[in-house]
Structure 1
């Protein structure tokens, strides 16, 4: 059927709506790092309950956003470096401890200056397209300090099989896996929801 004026107008309106939705989605993505999400609160509580472990640790927080876990670690006496995507200036501008722009999977100067024995990451396992770059970065940092650990909280979504596959690919293993609410005081957990897990991930030493 030939295109008439009404058809062209309808297609134009549809395209304009799609562009508006794309722009709205991008704006939402930009704002993700400015909220304190449940995973961040649960990881911060875990840090708080392990004061001795963090009192003299060298900590790097990946995808820090509002950086609640990292700030709690700093309060415990840790030397903390907060990192987020080097293109996310609105997030980096809100950080007040040691800050680096660090893009996962990119081997530029900032990553070579880091020597953490604890790596933190709250809700960094949300975009499956970024999983491989995240684990590449985590593995690089763990290899610099073989006794170090990556502690992360995440929603147990359908991507857990991909997480297991990539851990094996990058020579990692889960040393501890907890229900994120198992150690949360009821007064703090009551306002949170979701199937959230906490994992401690380390290098998988060869047999």
Structure 2
């Protein structure tokens, strides 16, 4: 509060958010994540160091700690960003079909194509399988995908009387199969994503079709 010489009190003026400052902060976040990705691809989460991330990012150590604080925080942010992208991509793929089997086939293929299109993705997966698996199951982004799938399951399985818990279980199994398909891609540069999507879909949909219909 600022006194103006009278008994009235004038509120202190607040600075407006700076678009330039916000853009700079966003660029710094992106540089750190890009540098961290390189380090996690090369060394894995356990072998990567903050100093390696700082060097790859081209920032100062102080800046890194101001933005993230730990390498684990950057790793979590990278996975969260990937999960959000996957949620959008898979939902768009499923929207192109009306039956669950086709939805899953399109969704899995889109997921695998997206992951394999990322530079260094195979090495990132190979170096960090345990950490990826432990973080993705139950992550907030994964829960969002569960909610999306619940609606698609109802749409893609007309005539099936599924309880809420059954629908939830199917949604989580769909996600689990997708995660494991990604983690087991291996080093084969010629992966046929459509074939893998068909295999995973066939294994899953066979069990779902065994459920009672009304």
The structure with the largest alpha-carbon Rg is 2
TM-score greater than 0.5 by the shorter chain: no
**Larger RCO (CA within 8 A; separation ≥ 6):** 2
In proportion to residue count, which structure has more strand? Answer: 1
Normalising by structure 2, we get a TM-score of 0.30
- The answer to which structure has the higher helix fraction is 2
TM-score between the two structures when normalised by the length of structure 1: 0.30
